[in-house]
Homo-oligomer: A and B are copies of this chain.
Amino acid sequence: MTREAVAEISSVSLDLLKTKMAEFAKERNWDRFHSPRNLLLAMVGEVGELSEIFQWRGEVPKGLPGWEEEEKVHLGEELSDVLLYLVRLSHVCGIDLGKAALRKLQLNAIKYPPPSAAAAANNNYSNTNNGATNTEKLEQKAASILN
């Protein structure tokens, strides 16, 4: 692999994916299929395939301990399929996805100001504790509203 390819991989941009998806569609004469709602439904289809990977597993810890390499590769493919249709959908809608995402991060930061360091420290709790405190419940609601 060339040095350029490595550099590319280490910082894949949304614009790069947008360009590659546009070329891919154009070369295959598939632009005519890529209307907004077609792409949205295609993305929903991919979200379904992604969900299937997680559906019978019960809770899955971070880092996916115990998953076989093959399963992780498959997961990467389904995550990618969602991303690629999302990038393409944004493109045909004329939305600059990267710009919109940075703006949304700023809005979220305003909506949910971080607690002070002291408050955050007090808020530490053990994961083995089954009962959620009131503070945690409020935070769960806050996190929920974020969506």
Contacts and interface: CB of A to CB of B under 8 A. Distances in A.
A94 to B, nearest CB: 5
Classify the interface of chain A: helix, strand, loop or mixed: helix
Copies of this protein in the complex: 4
A123 B29 contact: yes
Interface residues of A, number: 90
B28 A98 contact: no
A55 B79 contact: no
Interface of A: 8-15, 17, 20-21, 24, 27-30, 32-38, 40-52, 54-64, 72, 75-77, 79-84, 86, 89-90, 92-105, 107-109, 112, 114-115, 120, 123-125, 127, 139-140, 143-144, 147
